[in-house]
A and B are shown apart, each in its own frame.
Chain A
Amino acid sequence: MTTTQNLTSATEAAIKPPRRFAFITRSAATLWANWKSRLGLIILACFILVAIFAPLLAPYGASQDGFERNADASPEHWFGTTAAGEDVLSQLIYGSQISVAVGFIAGLLSTIVAMVIGLSWGYIRGFGADVINFIVNLFLVIPGLPLMIVIAAYLQNGGLVMIVAVIVITGWAWGARVLRAQTQTLRSRDFVTAARFSGEPAWRIVFKEILPNMTSIIAGGFFGAATSAILAEAGLEFLGLGDSSIVSWGTILYWAQNSNALLTGQWILLFAPGLCIALLALSLTLINFGVDAISNPRLREGKSR
């Protein structure tokens, strides 16, 4: 089934003149054909829809309080209420906005940084490459979360902008290294040599000739960066290093721990926000299984031994 689809799309591509964005529909089809990434896409779509329509879906306001405190689950409050008398379900629904937005923005920004640095680093040779090599390796070995915690501590409650900035500063190095390796293998190919001989400037060769050949790796890097951004944001919020007045999954857990939800026995309050973080991160990881299969054909569903 899949083989026939691939064959027809290959012949079509050979007959028609190449369309610039045809790869998007083709990769989407490949992702959809893999059951893991299909599941991931469905979960991700659910979270994005919940984030967009949060005001319609949530039964109460995000920080609307005045309900009974520390209440257990009831028909009025499906997931109970917090220690400040807020509805847990509404907080969860509004919290999805923060996680989805931070994951998307921080993931996108660190992918762009990784792309610019990784590609130029893979293309240039000599002393410049050694210098970048050193900087990237330095950023790779410095533990990310402690660095984030220290920067966040110095910046004192910078809020979401600070968190996104910190995540980007600490999170681009891995993507840059992967992209550099790929650029290095591509730079000696004939089409690059041809482009160089026809007098194209270096930046054009890198971003117009080499870049389009690694869209799947860049996409994989984006989903990976978004996953770690979501986890990092939740971690910083949980430690109370973000803006603890906003409603996000991390701050729900921060307040839950601070108000001793462990002792009052409100397990839903502890369970639900973390499960949401894990599911959102899982959806991106699952999508990446499909992306990996695009960039590495050996990982495609092969036969068992």
Chain B
Amino acid sequence: MMYVLRRIGFFLLTLWAAVTLNFLLPRMMPGSPTDAAIAKLAQNGPVTDATRKAIEAQLGVPDGNIFEQYLGYLHQVITLDFGVSYTFYPQSVSEMVWQAFPYTVILVGFVTIIAFVLGTLIGVLTAWKRNTWLDALPTLTGSFASTFPYFWTALLLLFFLGYVLHLFPTSGAFGPTATPALTWDFFTDVLYHAALPALTILITSLGGWIIGMRNAMINTLGDDYVTFAEANGLKGRTVAIRYAARNAILPNLTGFGLALGGVVGGSVLVEQVFGYPGIGYLLFNAVIGQDYPLMQALFLMITVSVLIANFLVDIMYGVLDPRTRR
């Protein structure tokens, strides 16, 4: 119980820190959205003070001292009202974020779980068959694939499977004729469009799980209780799965929450390549269009989601490992 309370405390504290960081970040940076907008205008000719005022009013530049701004910002966060998007005017920022959110959560969530399960299983195998080709092949291809830049894997898959072989659609989350509805046809269409982005993330993230599980497993295989189990004449598979792998999976699980942050980052690049209308693609567009309100809201959304995922993994860890509950 103490453990859960501590995790909740840490979660709330990090949540506050992330929200505050998101507030401070634009204020610590040189220049302001107004300056950026004026710099753009200034290329076409001199900018008057009146224009500047007009831009400030239009961008909703916050006034008052920093504490008043902070309170106003917290109010915005709690009510989930982040104002109006610059680039997708007149749509509100929250609306844009909620439209994109499910696509990324489903894409990243599913693929990460698949990669974790698959990678852990392969990792157990490689550690058990150490120094045979069953070890060398997955370890080497896995570590090679994990060095592929996300956007490169994405570009290659898109080029060969999309443009050359025409096996998969080349952009979007559903076909032009499909209408978003809770029907089987729409569901399969979404899956079909998500296949290439998902494959990209899977290829790039699988290797890390294999290596992590392999190293953890090799460590437990050296422990005395494993030798003892073997000496007792237990079957090889029983020792591998029920003795070694069960204990080795815990350190690998700690990595889950942290790896998620990396995958979410990678999905920004993947979504950009595939034009997949998730959070990452929206973030990219917000950055290109210097849409600061949208950018701020998206970054907050991404950070909070990863924080929640980490929190859930922590709680799960507590359930699985009695030692943490002391």
Instruction: Give the B-binding residues of A (Cβ under 8 A).
Output: 134, 137-138, 140-147, 149-156, 174, 227, 231, 234-235, 238-241, 253, 257, 262-263, 265, 267, 270-271, 273-275, 277-279, 281-282, 285-286, 289, 292, 296, 298-299, 301-305
Contacts and interface: CB of A to CB of B under 8 A. Distances in A.
B151 interface: yes
Contacts of A286: 143
Contact of B149 (A152, A274, A289, A305): A274
Given A154-B26, A277-B149, A278-B152, 15 more contacts: A134-B13, A142-B306, A144-B261, A147-B299, A154-B31, A234-B151, A262-B163, A274-B149, A274-B155, A282-B147, A285-B143, A302-B130, A304-B132, A304-B135, A305-B236
Contact of A155 (B30, B149, B221): B30
B310 interface: yes
B156 interface: yes
Interface of B: 10, 13-14, 17-18, 21, 25-26, 29-31, 36, 128-132, 135, 143-144, 146-153, 155-156, 158-160, 163-164, 215, 218-219, 221-222, 236, 257-258, 261-262, 264-266, 268-269, 272-273, 280, 283-284, 287-288, 290, 295-296, 298-299, 302-303, 306-307, 310
Given A138-B14, A303-B131, A143 B295 contact: no
Contact of B152 (A134, A277, A285, A301): A277
A276 to B, nearest CB: 10
30 contacts: A134-B13, A137-B14, A138-B21, A141-B258, A142-B18, A142-B261, A145-B262, A145-B268, A146-B265, A146-B268, A146-B298, A146-B299, A149-B268, A150-B287, A154-B25, A239-B269, A239-B284, A240-B288, A253-B152, A257-B273, A262-B159, A265-B163, A270-B156, A274-B152, A274-B153, A286-B143, A296-B215, A298-B218, A298-B222, A304-B130
Given A267-B159, A270-B156, A143 B264 contact: yes
A150 to B, nearest CB: 5
A254 B70 CA distance: 37
